[in-house]
């Protein structure tokens, strides 16, 4: 067992969300609504917050700007990690664990922007960020990488688009019951397969849905959490991981990348693993990422997702239920709730573990596996548990 | 092979200044550590950084060998022969001369070079005629011109052997993109 002194010592005690839509508010406005909601949810006030973790997401406010806009007196920890929520959660948790701050606010707004939304290029408030120098089309980095490696996956394992479709349909079916979600209209398999191709083999339904919104969280010690109003959710294990050969076109194979690093480190630090989890939140900024998390976490063998998802499909509810028990992305994920960079996956896990998910509630859920990020530079994961 | 540091004083291709190189390849992501590779394209060469100490190639170009930490890395011409490892089609993207995002899309390939396992370059493909490029196809380098800037492209090494419609046991990318 690897060293894991922070296990169960840090709790998420507040969450706040604006919900996600194609709106007309600034990222700061969304960030402040989510922040105040999360602080109130935690039963705290501005005077209690002594740490702020902002995000380096494009257009998002810096930590000092959040501090001044919230009217905080002063904070002893502030930072601005890369997007994708586990960078923020780990930073906040480590600050509390180290004693740098006691009640840390994490705030993570996202905005549809000119690089991921054609509509945003028509919006004078957003298009300013677009560079006048056009990139070269022959690029295998970033989003293109998931199309190239999805094609490689299909080639190596003889997979069809069926498992990709199941990830997309599952997210949409679950989003129907989530009032925070941007896309709640059901998606059929026929509609999925007829989706406009963007980067063959990936179509528009294989890619997250750009939207505006913000999530916020409050993190403190497990001891302090016991005195606060919400049922505490403990961080049992959390990690990020990057593989050495992580340049998108140089990755030696699908057998080893950031997801494998994350899984190995989580398993080495956790008393709980997939047989113990009630909830699974595999990030699906692209469908191939969720299929890979499913396989790399060990629910099935590499290349086995097509068979496995067909076997664990609830046809009546049009969604995945592993062993009839573990649903995936109960909030609708990045494909349907909105492109939240994993903040929605984390928030939904917390709400489910509190038993507050209403019509979406998984009865008796006590342990959640949350795995944001792709293969190359933002793979990450956490195991959360109710106290 | 010329000393790569020499290019900082006197460009190997003659008279293109650093500013002119950056302007010619605007949007390609040229910076100090890969400028030699772009200058190589102007001479019709695909240059890959190779360590003078341990002889390993690496990609993309770095100022230091990630295998042995030597700074003696030399942009070295390679054969340009390899096999298609990754393949996709773009159906939308930045406008560029000669790039058609419709009619099946614009192919982007990652080719594994014969010089070293897992050593790859990204580019496009052409001259496949009625055949569809597939993962595993043998290809060779053939730069395309785009407004004076050579673009990395590949063509089939053995065009006559490419009469394989998609292999029956493999999923066809064409099958998916035909819906476009």
Query: Looking at B57, B77, B97, which one is the last position of a domain?
Result: B77
User: Residue B120 phi/psi, 5° resolution?
Assistant: -130, 155
Between B91 and B170, the higher pLDDT residue: B91
Instruction: Please indicate whether, in this complex, the C-beta atoms of A148 and B88 are within 8 angstroms of each other.
Output: yes
Token couple for B152: 């990395």
Chain A residues in contact with B170 by the CB 8 A cut-off are: 155, 158
pLDDT at A102 over 80: yes
Fold of the CATH domain A233-386: Peroxisomal Thiolase; Chain A, domain 1 (3.40.47)
Do A335 and A172 form a contact (C-beta atoms < 8 A)? Answer: yes
Chain B residues in contact with A147 by the CB 8 A cut-off are: 88
Q: In terms of domains, do B122 and B156 share one?
A: yes
Percent of chain A with pLDDT over 90: 92
Residue-level pLDDT at A127? 65
Q: How many CB pairs under 8 A join A and B?
A: 112
Instruction: Please indicate whether, in this complex, the C-beta atoms of A201 and B96 are within 8 angstroms of each other.
Output: no
Q: What is the mean pLDDT of chain A?
A: 96
Residue-level pLDDT at B1? 43
How far is it between the farthest Cα atoms of chain B?
55
Residue-level pLDDT at B6? 47
Token couple for A95: 């600050």
Chain B residues in contact with A133 by the CB 8 A cut-off are: 26-27
The conformation of residue A17, written as its DSSP 8-state character, comes to E
Interchain CB contact of B169 with A (< 8 Å): yes
Residue-level pLDDT at B167? 46
Q: In terms of domains, do B43 and B120 share one?
A: no
Q: To the nearest 10°, the Cα dihedral for A191, A196, A198, A200?
A: 70
Q: What is the mean pLDDT of chain B?
A: 87
Residue B150 φ/ψ region, left for φ over 0, alpha for ψ in the -120 to 50 degree band, beta for the rest: beta
Digit-coded pLDDT (tens) for A253-306: 999 999 999 999 999 999 999 999 999 999 999 999 999 999 999 999 999 999
Give the domain range for residue B86: 81-177
What confidence tier does B14 reach under pLDDT thresholds 50, 70, 90? low
Which residues sit opposite A321 in a β-bridge? A327
Residue labelled with tokens 């067909």: A310
Query: Residue B11, SS3?
Result: coil
Interchain CB contact of A56 with B (< 8 Å): no
Q: In terms of domains, do B110 and B160 share one?
A: yes
Token couple for A30: 């969304």
Q: Region B125-136: what's the mean pLDDT? A: 93
Q: Region A197-212: what's the mean pLDDT? A: 97
Q: Is residue B117 in some structural domain?
A: yes
Percent of chain B with pLDDT over 70: 80
- Domain ranges for chain A: 233-386
Nearest-Å Rg of the Cα atoms of chain A is: 20
What confidence tier does A217 reach under pLDDT thresholds 50, 70, 90? very high
Domain count, chain B: 2
Residue-level pLDDT at A116? 72
User: Residue A288 phi/psi, 5° resolution?
Assistant: -60, -30
Which distant-in-sequence residues (6+ apart) come within 8 Å of B102 by Cβ? B91, B180
pLDDT at B30 over 60: yes
Which distant-in-sequence residues (6+ apart) come within 8 Å of B74 by Cβ? B1, B4, B49, B50, B51, B52
Instruction: Please indicate whether, in this complex, the C-beta atoms of B94 and A135 are within 8 angstroms of each other.
Output: yes
Q: In terms of domains, do B105 and B160 share one?
A: yes
Worst-scoring range by mean pLDDT, A1-10, A116-125, A133-142, A161-170? A116-125
Q: Is residue B1 in some structural domain?
A: no
């Amino acid at each position: 067992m690897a060293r894991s002194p922070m296990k169960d010592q840090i709790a998420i005690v507040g969450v706040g969300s604006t919900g996600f839509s194609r709106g007309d508010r600034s990222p700061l406005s969304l960030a402040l609504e989510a922040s105040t909601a999360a602080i109130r949810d935690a039963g705290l006030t501005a005077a209690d917050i002594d740490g702020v973790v902002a995000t380096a997401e494009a257009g998002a406010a810096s930590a000092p700007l959040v501090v001044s806009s919230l009217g905080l007196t002063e904070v002893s920890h502030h930072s601005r990690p890369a997007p994708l929520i586990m960078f923020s959660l780990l930073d906040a948790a480590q600050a509390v664990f180290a004693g740098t701050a006691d009640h840390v606010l994490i705030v993570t707004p996202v905005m549809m922007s000119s690089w991921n939304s054609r509509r945003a290029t028509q919006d004078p408030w957003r298009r300013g960020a677009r560079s006048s120098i056009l990139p070269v089309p022959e690029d295998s980095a970033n989003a293109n990488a998931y199309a190239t490696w999805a094609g490689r996956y299909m080639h190596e394992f003889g997979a069809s688009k069926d498992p990709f479709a199941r990830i997309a349909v599952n997210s949409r079916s679950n989003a129907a019951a989530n009032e925070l979600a941007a896309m709640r209209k059901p998606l059929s398999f026929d509609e999925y397969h007829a989706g406009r191709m963007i980067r063959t083999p990936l179509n528009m339904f294989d890619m997250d849905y750009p939207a505006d919104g913000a999530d916020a969280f409050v993190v403190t010690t497990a001891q302090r959490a016991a005195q606060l109003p919400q049922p505490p959710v403990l961080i049992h294990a959390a990690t990020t991981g990057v593989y050495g050969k992580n340049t998108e076109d140089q990755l030696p194979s699908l057998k080893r990348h950031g997801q494998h690093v994350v899984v190995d480190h989580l398993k080495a630090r956790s008393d709980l693993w997939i047989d113990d989890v009630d909830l699974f939140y595999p990030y699906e900024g692209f469908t191939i990422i969720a299929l890979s998390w499913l396989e790399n976490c060990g629910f099935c063998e590499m290349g086995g997702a097509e068979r496995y998802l067909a076997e664990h499909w609830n046809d009546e509810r049009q969604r995945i239920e592993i062993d009839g028990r573990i649903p995936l992305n109960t909030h609708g994920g990045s494909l349907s709730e909105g492109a939240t960079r994993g903040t929605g996956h984390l928030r939904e896990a917390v709400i489910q573990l509190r038993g507050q998910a209403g019509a979406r509630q998984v009865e008796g859920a006590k342990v959640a596996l949350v795995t944001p990020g792709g293969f190359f530079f933002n793979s990450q994961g956490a195991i959360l548990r109710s106290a | 092979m010329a000393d790569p540091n020499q290019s900082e004083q006197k460009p190997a291709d003659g008279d293109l200044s650093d500013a002119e190189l950056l302007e010619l390849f605007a949007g390609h992501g040229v910076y100090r550590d890969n400028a030699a590779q772009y200058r190589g394209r102007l001479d019709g060469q695909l240059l890959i950084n190779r360590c003078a100490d341990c002889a390993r190639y690496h990609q993309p170009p770095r100022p230091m060998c990630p295998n042995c930490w030597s700074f003696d890395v030399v942009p070295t011409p390679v054969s340009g022969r390899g096999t298609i490892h990754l393949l996709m089609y773009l159906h939308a993207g930045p406008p560029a001369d000669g790039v058609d995002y419709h009619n099946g899309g614009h192919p982007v390939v990652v080719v594994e070079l014969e010089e070293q396992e897992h050593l790859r370059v990204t580019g496009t493909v052409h001259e496949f005629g009625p055949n569809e490029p597939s993962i595993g196809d043998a290809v060779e380098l053939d730069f395309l011109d785009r407004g004076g800037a050579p673009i990395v492209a590949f063509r089939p090494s053995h065009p006559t052997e490419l009469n394989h419609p998609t292999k029956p046991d493999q999923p066809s990318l064409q099958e998916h993109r035909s819906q476009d």
